[in-house]
Chains A and B, each alone.
Chain A
Amino acid sequence: MQPVPKPPAPASEALRKALSLTLPIALGYVPVGMAYGVLAGKAGLSALNVLLMSILVYAGSAQLVAVGLFAAGATAAALVATTFAVNLRHVLFSAAMAPLLTGWRKRELAAFAFELTDESFALHAARFGRGDRDKAVTQWINVLAQASWVGGTALGVALGDVLGDGRAFALDFALPGMFLALLAGQLGSRSQVAAAVSGGGLSLLAAGLGITGYGALAAGLIGAGCGLGVERWMTRQPS
C-alpha cells in the first residue's frame, strides 16, 4: 500500500516533532559523547581537535577506535584506513536510503549523508516505513542528533579533569559495549554469524601474535570473505 503523502508541517511543529523523536537518540549520544570527550582528552588530543572530530567525523564507534589508536601512537594512514573499515557499513545504509529520498535536491542529499549514523538510519527507516516522510522533520532530527553528540563531547572535554581516568565510571566499557550492541543487530543470517566468529577469532589471533594497527582491519575483511563463502556454500546445498 502506498502511504498517502502528508502536507508539510509548519516549521515550529516540525521542530517539536523532531525533538520528541530524537530524544531517545540524544539520551544515548550525550553519555557516550561524554565518554569520547574524556578519553580523547586523555589520549593527548587538543580540546579543539576533540570537538572538531565530533563535528566533522560524527561517528561514535569510529571516534572511540581512533582515540585508542591516537593514544597508541598509530600513523595517520592507519587511523584513516581503520575509520574507513569501521564505517564501511554506512554504504549499506546510504544505499538503503537512496530510493526513499527521491525528489530531494543534491545538496539536501549531501547534507543528509553527512549526518547518516546507525541510529539516525534506524529511526528514519522506521519513520519512512510508516509513511512519515516529512523533509523538515527529517532534517531537524539529523541536526538535533548531531547537536546532542557534539554537546556530550563538550561536556566530556569540560569534565575530563574531574572524572580522572574514568575507570570508576566504566568509561572504558563504552567502546566494547557499542561494538557488541551494533554487532547484535548484524547477526541476521548464519553466514553473518560465521563472518563475526571468523573476524573475531582472526583478530584475537593477530593480537596474540603481536600484529597491531591493521590486524583487526585485515581480520574483519577476511572474516567478511569467510561469511560470503559460507553464504555461497549454503545456497549451493540442495534443500
Chain B
Amino acid sequence: MDDATAFLTIAGMAAVTYATRSGPLLFLAGRTLPPGAIRFLAHVPAAVLAALAAPALLRPEGRFDASPANVIFWAGLAAFALALRTKGFFGPVALGMGLVAAARFFWGG
C-alpha cells in the first residue's frame, strides 16, 4: 500500500472511530438507544476483544501453539489473572511484557 492510500485508509479509520465516539453524545441528547440495541452492544466488547485476543495468544506465529515455548500465551494468562483481580489496565500489560522479556532474556527465543 503506498503512502497516499495508507493515509486515506487512516482517514477512514478516523471517521468510523469518531462516529462511534460522537454518535450518542451529539445525536442522542435526551433520547436513549432501543433496549435491544443496548443489550447487543453490551456483549460486543467482550466478544470482539476475545475474538482478537485468542488468535494473538494461541497463534502468535500463525499456527496453533499451546506449548510451554509460547511465552506470549503463558504471560497472557498471568496478565489476565492480574487484570481480573485489579481491574487495572497498564499493570497487567507491564507484567506480561516483563515476563515475556525476561523469558526471552534467560531462555532465548
A159 within 8 A of B: no
User: Are the C-beta atoms of A176 and B40 separated by less than 8 Å?
Assistant: no
A175 to chain B, nearest CB (A): 6
B24 to chain A, nearest CB (A): 4
B107 within 8 A of A: no
- Stretch of A1-9, A10-18, A77-85, A133-141 that contacts chain B: A77-85
User: Are the C-beta atoms of B72 and A173 separated by less than 8 Å?
Assistant: yes
User: Are the C-beta atoms of A76 and B5 separated by less than 8 Å?
Assistant: yes
Q: Which residue of A lies closest to B12 (CB)?
A: A80
A185 to chain B, nearest CB (A): 6
B67 within 8 A of A: no
B39 to chain A, nearest CB (A): 6
User: Are the C-beta atoms of B79 and A110 separated by less than 8 Å?
Assistant: no
A106 within 8 A of B: yes
Interface hits, A38-76 → B, CB 8 Å: 44-46, 48-49, 52-53, 56-59, 61-62, 65-66, 70, 73, 76
Given A220-B44, A226-B47, CB of A169 within 8 Å of CB of B101: yes
- Against B, the Cβ 8 Å flags (1 = close, 0 = not) of A171-215 are 111111111111111110001110111111111100110000000
Interface hits, B1-29 → A, CB 8 Å: 1, 3, 5-14, 16-26, 28-29
User: Are the C-beta atoms of B17 and A57 separated by less than 8 Å?
Assistant: yes
User: Are the C-beta atoms of B40 and A224 separated by less than 8 Å?
Assistant: yes
Q: How far is the CA of A22 from the CA of B23 in the complex (A)?
A: 25
Q: Of B25, B44, B88, which contacts A109 at CB under 8 A?
A: B25
What are the residues of chain B within 8 A of A167 when measuring CB–CB?
Answer: 104
A19 within 8 A of B: no
Q: Of B12, B93, B105, which contacts A79 at CB under 8 A?
A: B12
- Against A, the Cβ 8 Å flags (1 = close, 0 = not) of B20-52 are 111111101100110000111111111111111
What are the residues of chain B within 8 A of A85 when measuring CB–CB?
Answer: 44, 48
Given A53-B13, A70-B6, A184-B92, CB of A219 within 8 Å of CB of B39: no
Q: How far is the CA of A98 from the CA of B81 in the complex (A)?
A: 33
B74 to chain A, nearest CB (A): 11
What are the residues of chain A within 8 A of B25 when measuring CB–CB?
Answer: 94, 97-98, 101, 109, 112-113, 116
User: Are the C-beta atoms of B47 and A208 separated by less than 8 Å?
Assistant: no
What are the residues of chain A within 8 A of B54 when measuring CB–CB?
Answer: 199-201, 203-204
What are the residues of chain A within 8 A of B69 when measuring CB–CB?
Answer: none
Q: How far is the CA of A171 from the CA of B72 in the complex (A)?
A: 11
User: Are the C-beta atoms of A116 and B21 separated by less than 8 Å?
Assistant: yes
What are the residues of chain B within 8 A of A178 when measuring CB–CB?
Answer: 89, 93
B109 to chain A, nearest CB (A): 8
User: Are the C-beta atoms of B48 and A224 separated by less than 8 Å?
Assistant: yes
A162 within 8 A of B: no
B55 to chain A, nearest CB (A): 5
Q: How far is the CA of A7 from the CA of B75 in the complex (A)?
A: 47
Given A59-B17, A217-B48, A223-B50, 8 new contacts (CB under 8 A): A52-B10, A76-B8, A172-B100, A181-B80, A183-B53, A196-B50, A223-B48, A224-B46
